[in-house]
Amino acid sequence: MSAAKPFAISEDFLANHNARLEAATIEDYHALSRALARRGVDAEKLVEKVMGFGVAIPTWGVGTGGTRFARFPGPGEPRNIFEKLDDCAVIQQLARATPTVSPHIPWDKVDDYGALRDKAAAHGLSFDAVNSNTFQDQPGQELSYKFGSLSHADARVRAQAVAHNLECIEIGRKLGSKALTVWIADGSNFAGQSNLTKALDRYIEAMREIVAALPADWRVFLEHKLYEPAFYSTVIADWGTSFAAAQELGPKALCLVDLGHHAPSVNIEQIVARLIRFKKLGGFHFNDSKYGDDDLDSGSVEPFRLFLVFNELIDAERRKAEGFAPAYMIDQSHNVTDPIESLMQSAMELQRAYAQALIVDREALEAAQEANDALGAHLELKRAFTTDVSPLLAVARLRAGGAIAPIEAYRAAGYRAHKAKERPPVAGTSAGIV
Ligand SMILES: [Mn+2]
């Protein structure tokens, strides 16, 4: 007996759903276009820019996340990487902002990477940065990462962690990736437990071996994180350490900014500006936070901060800043929502911040800055941030073949209910927070 074809949202269903919303959307878009035209902004050009914006979905993001205390799996969760790709495809089909997928090794290991690449391509998806994992032990693994990985005191553990990253590069090559993201959980829980200098020395030496193994057109992203799982010291704790390490490791090594991986009051947009200035901004893990590495949905807590990050990115793009080509990925843990809905909403919030940053009057902003007109400069940013670009984003989605209202369309299609029938839960489905 052959398995029934998995449920997919049909183009007819989507067209009918859009048809009901189209007239009002176009009316709102025309009103916004006229308002923007009065400010010298061409809405049509903005639509084109928004249609070209893409952010990668992490494969683990389509499963329910969890906290340190529990995970509450939802119905119809993907049970393997192929089903994860089906869910990523729905997100791209409706929201049209996520054409790439960021895999995680070993969670996404398969026997046939050609089949995986073909499956993604059939969905119109391709693979972005590969994420390595030396923050947990795998079944059958010879040595434990309990006391660290790339910075471990024991050279054999470091060698094992290096070998894992080299395997990630090999898998990434088969998938068409061009980057490796390395986050290590290494650190210490007690003062005196670890030699702070030696631990960093060992990390940099191990990373040298990984950098040396990168193909010519590959980059490696160093991801820093202030604390957790280590609570006394963390080897790559901040952007300064990440930057200094990337400098020593050479031009292929760049810094990755996960928005949740900083001290609570840190000025993240300034960190972004600094990394751009030093040609070391590799990319982002987008999410939002209230307290720490909360991995909440992008733009759900501090949308103004997200806008300010994009303001720096657009500033760099307009200046044609040397070496500026950041990779964008979402990195969130969806504990109380349907992950597909959260990922669509997050991708749209990133597009919103991007569009708002694009409509900042850069000449007026610079003039105010040069004249020391503090409030005038601030108001230029606020004018852009308070502009509701929703109709413009909806038109961009519509023209790209997506949904005017992705979450409403997704719910109306009953995708999750279908998957709940097709995908009986299995034990040990991996999901995580990095
Ligand atoms: Mn991250």
Cα(288) to centroid(ligand 1), Å: 11
Cα(223) to centroid(ligand 1), Å: 7
Cα(104) to centroid(ligand 1), Å: 12
- What the block records as the tokens of 76 is 């119809």
pLDDT the model gives residue 68? 84
Cα(62) to centroid(ligand 1), Å: 15
Gap between the Cα atoms of 252 and 273, Å rounded = 19
**Are 301 and 256 spatial neighbours (Cβ–Cβ below 8 Å)?**
no
Cα(434) to centroid(ligand 1), Å: 5
pLDDT the model gives residue 3? 60
Gap between the Cα atoms of 114 and 367, Å rounded = 54
Cα(257) to centroid(ligand 1), Å: 8
Give pLDDT tens digits for 327-374.
999 999 999 999 999 999 999 999 999 999 999 999 999 999 999 999
- What the block records as the tokens of 14 is 């989507």
Gap between the Cα atoms of 233 and 196, Å rounded = 8
Gap between the Cα atoms of 72 and 358, Å rounded = 39
Cα(181) to centroid(ligand 1), Å: 9
Residue (of 184, 63, 179, 58) closest to 130 by Cα position: 179
**Half-sphere exposure of residue 193, counting CA atoms within 13 Å on the CB side?**
15
Residue (of 221, 305, 315) closest to 268 by Cα position: 305
Cα(349) to centroid(ligand 1), Å: 18
Give me the percent of the chain exceeding a pLDDT of 70: 97
Q: Is 255 helix (H, G, I), strand (E, B) or coil?
A: strand
What order of strands is seen across the sheet that includes strand 126-127? 57-58, 100-102, 126-127
pTM of the model: 0.96
Q: Which amino acid is at 330?
A: I
Cα(258) to centroid(ligand 1), Å: 5
Cα(285) to centroid(ligand 1), Å: 5
pLDDT at 2 over 50: no
Give pLDDT tens digits for 67-125.
888 999 999 999 999 999 999 999 999 999 999 999 999 999 999 999 999 999 999 99
Gap between the Cα atoms of 280 and 129, Å rounded = 16
Cα(361) to centroid(ligand 1), Å: 32
Cα(287) to centroid(ligand 1), Å: 9
Q: Is 256 helix (H, G, I), strand (E, B) or coil?
A: strand
